[in-house]
Amino acid sequence: MEGRKFRLKNREEILVILGPQDQELRALERALKVQVYVRHHPETESADLTIKGQGAAVEKAVLKLRETLEDFYNARLAPEDAHPGEEPPLPDGALFKTHYGEIIRPRTENQKKYVEAILSRDLVVGIGPAGTGKTYLAAVCALRALKAQEVKRIILTRPIVEAGEKLGYLPGDISDKVHPYLRPLYDAFYALLGPDRFRAMRADEVIETVPLAYMRGRTLDGAFVILDEAQNTLPEQMKMFLTRMGMYSKVVVTGDVTQIDLKEKERSGLLHIKKVLAGVDGVKFVQFSGRDVARHPLVKEILAAYDEWEGAQEGRG
Please name the amino acid found at residue 178: V
Q: Residues for the chain: how many in total?
A: 317
As a whole number, the mean pLDDT across the chain is 85
151 shares a domain with 22: no
| Same-domain check for residues 66 and 178 | no
Among 77, 37, 74, residue whose Cα is nearest residue 53: 37
Distances (CA, A) of 37 to 9, 14, 256: 16, 13, 39
Do 115 and 261 sit in the same domain of this protein? yes
Number of structural domains in the chain: 2
Looking at residue 77, its pLDDT comes to 43
Q: Is residue 54 part of a domain?
A: yes
Q: In whole angstroms, how far apart are CA 272 and each of 48, 138, 232, 277?
A: 32, 22, 11, 9
Q: Are residues 113 and 257 in the same domain?
A: yes
Instruction: Tell me if 91 is assigned to some domain.
Output: no
The predicted structure's pLDDT at residue 237: 94
What is the structure's pLDDT at 293? 82
Query: What is the predicted pLDDT for the residue at 45?
Result: 80
Q: Identify whether residues 64 and 103 lie together within a single domain.
A: no
* pLDDT at 279 > cutoff 80: yes
Look up the CATH number of the domain holding residue 47.
Answer: 3.30.1370.10
Q: Which of 90-94, 172-176, 180-184, 278-282 is modeled with the greatest confidence?
A: 278-282
Residue 115 has pLDDT above 80, yes or no: yes
- Asked if the model's pLDDT at residue 297 lies above 50, the reply is yes
Specify the CATH number for the domain of residue 262: 3.40.50.300
87 has a pLDDT exceeding 70: no
Give the HSE-up count for residue 144: Cα atoms under 13 Å, Cβ half-sphere.
24
Region 196-220 average pLDDT:
88
What pLDDT band is residue 76 in, cutting at 50, 70 and 90? low
Report pLDDT for 174: 55
Q: How many angstroms separate the CA atoms of 6 and 35, rounded?
A: 13
Residues 47 and 118 both lie in one domain? no
User: What gap in Å lies between CA 80 and CA 5, rounded to an integer?
Assistant: 36
Whether residue 15 is found in the same domain as residue 146: no
Q: What is the mean pLDDT of residues 279-305?
A: 83
Residue 83: pLDDT band with limits 50, 70, 90: low
Mean pLDDT of the 253-277 span: 93
Of the residues 51, 81, 111, the one at which a domain ends: 81
| pLDDT value of position 161 | 66
- pLDDT at residue 81 greater than cutoff 50: no
Domain final residue pick, 81, 106, 139: 81
For residue 78, what pLDDT is reported? 43
Residue 71: its pLDDT value, please?
A: 81
Contacts of 239 (CB under 8 A, 6+ apart): 269
> Considering the domain boundaries, does residue 101 fall inside one?
yes
pLDDT digits (tens, 9 = 90+) for 4-44: 889 888 888 899 999 888 999 999 999 999 999 999 988 77
Cβ atoms of 211 and 178 within 8 Å: the answer is yes
Q: What is the pLDDT of residue 3?
A: 85
Distance CA 317, CA 308 (A): 14
300 and 260 together in one domain: yes
pLDDT of res. 168: 52
Domain boundary among 50, 81, 112: 81
Q: Which domain holds residue 270?
A: 96-316
